[in-house]
């Protein structure tokens, strides 16, 4: 079963923004057909970033915290919807929006402080400003930067 998010948003009286929470870490191909919506992974998540979403399927909510890639969700899945044997949990990379406080001249480096991989750095510009720069080669898509951003301008997107 495939979920049409635009249709679901329309029928629910919401506007479809096109921004969806990322898929589960280590999700197998055809996740929605394999997942039994038992919520075992949601209950096992130590960071409490997994929530029950549309249709009862689990989804990641980075507004709560970042993923530590502990694997508890995959270990709790008894149906094979999450496979910890996959090389990477996902191919998500952070993207900082144009309305970032630092880009507007307001000192804020909350995302850089939260990034344990140090993939988010601030590059000094003339005039004393510093703009965030994401080093995609070391960004693991954990989402820690999202929860700390005071104006929520950071998103995770699938890497090209």
Q: What is the pLDDT of residues 73-106, one digit of tens each?
A: 999 999 999 998 888 898 899 999 999 999 888 9
Residue with the bigger pLDDT between 6 and 134: it is 134
Phi–psi pair at 130, nearest 5 degrees: -135, 130
Number of domains in the chain: 2
pLDDT band at 10 (very low <50, low <70, confident <90, very high): low
Question: Across residues 129-145, what is the average pLDDT?
Answer: 94
What residues make up the domain containing 128?
92-158
**Is it the case that residue 147 has pLDDT exceeding 80?**
yes
Residue found by looking up tokens 């399927």 in the block: 57
Q: Where is the domain boundary, 51, 76, 101?
A: 76
Q: What is the pTM of this model?
A: 0.79
CATH number at residue 139: 3.30.70.20
Residues 133 and 70 in one domain: no
Give which of 45, 61, 41 is closest to 53, Cα–Cα.
61
Report whether 65 contacts 35 (CB < 8 A).
Answer: no
Q: Is residue 67 situated within a structural domain?
A: yes
Tally of CA atoms within 13 A in the half-sphere of 12 that contains its CB: 11
Residues 15 and 66 in one domain: yes
* H helical segments located in 12-131: 31-34, 40-44, 72-76, 110-114
The pLDDT of residue 88: 85
């Amino acid at each position: 079963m495939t979920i049409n998010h635009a249709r679901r948003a329309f029928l629910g009286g919401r506007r479809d923004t096109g921004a969806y929470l990322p898929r589960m870490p280590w999700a197998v191909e055809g996740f929605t057909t394999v997942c039994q919506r038992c919520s075992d992974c949601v209950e096992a998540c130590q960071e409490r970033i997994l929530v029950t979403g549309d249709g009862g399927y689990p989804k990641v909510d980075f507004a709560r915290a970042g993923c530590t890639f502990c694997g508890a969700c995959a270990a709790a899945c008894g149906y094979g919807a999450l496979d910890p044997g996959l090389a990477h949990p996902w191919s998500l990379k952070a993207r900082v929006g144009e309305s970032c406080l630092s880009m507007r001249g307001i000192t804020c480096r909350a995302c850089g402080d939260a990034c344990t991989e140090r993939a988010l750095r601030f590059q000094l510009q003339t005039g004393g400003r510093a703009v965030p720069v994401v080093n995609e080669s070391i960004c693991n898509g954990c989402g820690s930067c999202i929860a700390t951003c005071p104006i929520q301008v950071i998103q995770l997107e699938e890497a090209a």
